[in-house]
Amino acid sequence: MSAQRPVTRFSLDLWMSFFCRSMGLPIPMLQAHAVAQMMCSCKIFFLDPQGDHVLACKKHTGATRGHNHVIDVLVQLIRNTGYSVRVNHKVSMMAAASNKQGDVDLVNFGLDGFNNLVIDVSICCDHISNSTVNNRHLNGKMHTNDYLQARARVKNNRYKEDYAAVGTVFAPAIVSVAGQIHPKFLRLLWVLADKQTRNYCALISAEEEIGSQAFT
Ligand SMILES: [Zn+2]
């Protein structure tokens, strides 16, 4: 995240939502909907003031926007690291007759025996029963088992083997609406941060060499 980069910069409403979620407070914009008992377009749940349902319901555009935001930020991080990247419909297809695709494709990622790394981004909800059970409102019960791993298993079953057949590694990138990050995704972020740091250090030392030559 950088204040100078428009793609990764938090807007004011995003900061507000982030802090409200971090502290467990209702998000002001959603609180108004919750008080008015606004029904989600799925026609099953009311909108909750924490934003859990909006971010996780496939029928609500908030879920798509949240998903796309994570992809945008991830793609920017990958490009800043120096990798070529393909997004959405440009991502490599899987083998066989399947027309399934992941979300992000790192071209020539450098893993032994594989050309590319395809990532599928997914946001899941920390609350049990998709945030609402008790009279269609949050019941306050959170998952205590490894729900991020469960989502990763579903994604791996769907993509991993078919991508391996075309020489491509697959990895799920899973975050929760409460800010949890699945270990595989966290490891990828670490690898990108490490590569950026190495690139920066190489650039600094190269500049020092040029500088020292200029003054000798
Ligand atoms: Zn819904």
How much distance in Å is there from the Cα of 41 to the middle of ligand 1? 6
Q: What are phi and psi for residue 145, nearest 5 degrees?
A: -95, -175
In a domain, 120, yes or no: yes
In a domain, 2, yes or no: no
54 is written with which tokens? 């909006």
Q: Which of 92, 72, 79 is nearest to 163 (CA)?
A: 92
pLDDT band at 140 (very low <50, low <70, confident <90, very high): low
In a domain, 1, yes or no: no
30 is written with which tokens? 């959603």
pLDDT at 53: 79
d(CA 145, CA 3): 35
pLDDT band at 78 (very low <50, low <70, confident <90, very high): very high
Task: Enumerate the β-bridge partners of residue 172.
Answer: 120
Does residue 131 have a pLDDT over 50?
A: no
In a domain, 55, yes or no: yes
How much distance in Å is there from the Cα of 54 to the middle of ligand 1? 7
Lowest mean pLDDT among 17-31, 92-106, 129-143, 158-172: 129-143
pLDDT at 151: 92
86 is written with which tokens? 């393909």
Other CB atoms within 10 A of residue 133 CB = 15
How much distance in Å is there from the Cα of 43 to the middle of ligand 1? 7
Provide the number of structural domains found in the chain: 1
In a domain, 41, yes or no: yes
Q: Is the pTM of this model over 0.85?
A: no
In a domain, 4, yes or no: no
pLDDT at 29: 85
Task: Tell me the percentage of the chain whose pLDDT exceeds 90.
Answer: 30
In a domain, 7, yes or no: no
Give me the chain's average pLDDT, please: 82
Domain range for 148 is 12-214
How much distance in Å is there from the Cα of 5 to the middle of ligand 1? 32
Say if CB 169 and CB 117 are below 8 A apart: yes
Lowest mean pLDDT among 82-96, 148-162, 165-179: 82-96
Residue type for 145, please?
Answer: N
In a domain, 25, yes or no: yes
What average pLDDT does range 102-110 have in this prediction? 89
For 22-167, list the strands marked E by DSSP.
84-87, 104-107, 116-124
Q: Which of 214, 140, 152, 135 is nearest to 188 (CA)?
A: 152
Say if CB 86 and CB 107 are below 8 A apart: yes
153 is written with which tokens? 């298993």
